[in-house]
Amino acid sequence: MPVIDLRSDTVTQPTAAMREAMMGAPLGDDVYGEDPTVTRLEQTLAARLGLAAGLFVPSGTMSNLLGLMAHCERGDEYIVGQLSHTYKYEGGGAAVLGSIQPQPIEMEADGSLDLERVASVIKPDDFHFARTRLLALENTMHGKVLPLDYLAAAHDFTRARGLALHLDGARLFNAVIKLGCDPKDICRYFDSVSVCLSKGLGAPVGSVLCGSEALIAKARRWRKMVGGGMRQAGVLAAAGLYALDHHVQRLGDDHARAARIGEALVDLGYEVELVQTNMVYVRMDDRADAFKAFCAERGILISAASRLRLVTHLDVLDEHVDAVVEAFAAFARR
């Protein structure tokens, strides 16, 4: 029975062509700065984002951590959404490893942070307080795309307040494809951007942190300290380069399939949130565990939650969409 894995877009297998690109990549010791493929990935992605420099790292968690640590010193603070990955899903790394205090705030339904609310938690310059240094946003946020005019407002806000602005752009290219814009149209507002290669882009490993030369030089020091210096890492970077060349435009297919699932579930009477990119959120309440087991019998893997998240990706095809919709239909008929 084929397995249809909707738990995340991290579950993709590298394609045959991607594996071939990895096999043929020229390699060197990247800690010595001598891996041509890593260097090419860092420069290629930074250029595409319109930022000066890039740093290849093993994970998005490390990429965000290094970004926060490059912006903030010990005793500094960053403002972040309650549900943001950097705050909620990275083991408290900024606080634990960076001595950076998070100031989480409630998020808006569209995934943004209300700038007046942000302003209200910025600390005065007084030794009682941590020094507020940075605002961190996420895009896409739970599959939602932050509007460009909001990003412009956040940029102006941070300039006026002397804050830096970081983007957790794990799924930046999903936002780019949804908006039909250039990555620079989003990244021009940020001092640093973290992009995951191992989500919808379909590479097995890796993220890239992009920013100014000075910021990336700082992040490179921290990367070595936290154990992220890799040697012949070009074998991995080659997968990222391949993904940037071949797997960006096709994200639109993932979005179309997610939309198709969403529309079919609405027709079946399920409560579905508006689908913008590659995630479908379905309200399941206390039926989630039963539905998970029901799906497992049909070779469909989902993460059970009262607000169920289905994620489309490279390995979810049209016939899989049909099977998923049929599973929801059969579950509703039970």
Ligand X SMILES: *Cc1c(COP(=O)(O)O)cnc(C)c1O
**Residues at the interface with ligand X (CB under 6 A):** 59-61, 64, 85, 138, 168, 170, 196, 198-199, 207
Spell out the residues 6+ positions from residue 267 whose beta carbon is closer than 8 angstroms to its own.
none
CA 312/CA 251 separation, integer angstroms: 9
Q: How far is the CB of 228 from ligand X (least distance, A)?
A: 11
Residue by residue, DSSP assigns 95-136 as HHHH--EEEEE---TTS---HHHHHHHPPPSSTTSPEEEEEE
Spell out the residues 6+ positions from residue 229 whose beta carbon is closer than 8 angstroms to its own.
30, 31, 223
Q: How far is the CB of 239 from ligand X (least distance, A)?
A: 14
Nearer to ligand X, 37 or 63 (CB): 63
**Maximum distance among all alpha carbons in the chain?**
63
CA 98/CA 94 separation, integer angstroms: 5
Element (H, E) at 199: none
Sign of CA dihedral 319, 324, 325, 326: positive
CA 234/CA 35 separation, integer angstroms: 6
3-class DSSP state for residue 258? helix
Sign of CA dihedral 72, 73, 77, 81: positive
Nearer to ligand X, 97 or 327 (CB): 97
Q: How far is the CB of 90 from ligand X (least distance, A)?
A: 7
Q: How far is the CB of 230 from ligand X (least distance, A)?
A: 15
CA 278/CA 275 separation, integer angstroms: 7
Q: How far is the CB of 101 from ligand X (least distance, A)?
A: 20
Nearer to ligand X, 10 or 123 (CB): 10
| Token pair in block for residue 234 | 């070009």
Nearer to ligand X, 64 or 132 (CB): 64
The CB-nearest residue to ligand X is 60
Nearer to ligand X, 122 or 248 (CB): 248
Nearer to ligand X, 169 or 262 (CB): 169
| Amino acid (1-letter code) at residue 299 | G
Q: What phi and psi, each to the nearest 5 degrees, are found at residue 150?
A: -70, -40
Q: How far is the CB of 20 from ligand X (least distance, A)?
A: 24
CA 117/CA 213 separation, integer angstroms: 32
Nearer to ligand X, 8 or 39 (CB): 8
Q: How far is the CB of 134 from ligand X (least distance, A)?
A: 16
Q: How far is the CB of 10 from ligand X (least distance, A)?
A: 6
Nearer to ligand X, 18 or 208 (CB): 208
